[in-house]
Amino acid sequence: MANKKGTALLMVWADIPADKEAEFNKWYNEEHLAELLSIPGVLNAARYEAVKNGPKHLACYELENAGVVQTPDFKDRPRTPWGEKVSPSIIGNPVISNVYEMIRPDALSTDALNSGMAPSLQIGRMAVPADQEEQWNHWYNTVYTANYEKVPGCIRARRFKAVRGEPKYSVVYEFENEKVSETDEWMKQRDINPDNDKMRNMMTHATGSPGVWVKTFEL
């Protein structure tokens, strides 16, 4: 059985003019998602829409590794006439197209490798001063995400470093539903460790971060 998850993500966010959304969604669902899934190393994909913060539209692609986006199959594919009209790079504002390499966990479990695209995602995109990165990353990897993974409805947490795009770090929580981070259990974990407030204050979130997205389409 082919893996459904890899060690990298391509995530494309966009806000689309209201009068172009219908055709944008039709193109994505009927042509573009299948086009990218046909590329070797693109393991899985789904589309999401924001229910908290944004941008509104998110396409999330599981990659075997970050090098997939540098292969000729990915880089040299022609844009279709339909894509020339409605791709996010043409009509989106803003558009964020980032490639991420996984830094937590060190390796994916068998369960993770075989798991599909989550019903909902909470994603943070953040930067931290270079002189604080080591302690901040250690805390995020061993304390913050580990505690949130105990919350009912949180399937798993993965952390990533950007190899294309900004800011440098991202955290992706996979949820069973979009309300997980509103529960009492989640709020309890937020401040359960005495270092959490100090460590959170080290980071600067990108505009629209953290956000929550719900799955709207998957082949």
Q: Where are the domains of the chain?
A: 8-217
Is-above-0.75 flag for pTM?
yes
Residue 124 Rama label (left phi>0; alpha psi -120 to 50; beta): beta
- pLDDT, position 1: 64
- pLDDT, position 116: 96
d(CA 41, CA 63): 6
The amino acid that residue 156 corresponds to is R
d(CA 54, CA 162): 18
Greatest alpha-carbon span in the chain: 55
3-state class percentages of the chain: helix first, strand second, coil last, to nearest 5: 35, 30, 35
CA distances (Å), 93 to each of 15, 87, 189, 213, in order? 5, 11, 35, 18
Beta strands in 78-153 (DSSP E): 95-104, 120-127
Sign of CA dihedral 159, 173, 210, 96: positive
Give me the CATH topology for the region 8-217: Alpha-Beta Plaits (3.30.70)
Residues 6+ apart with CB under 8 A from 103: 137, 141, 159, 160, 161
By CB neighbour count within 10 A (0-12 exposed, 13-18 middle, 19+ buried), where does 219 fall? exposed
pLDDT lower than 50: segments of the chain: none
3-class DSSP state for residue 9?
strand
- pLDDT, position 2: 86
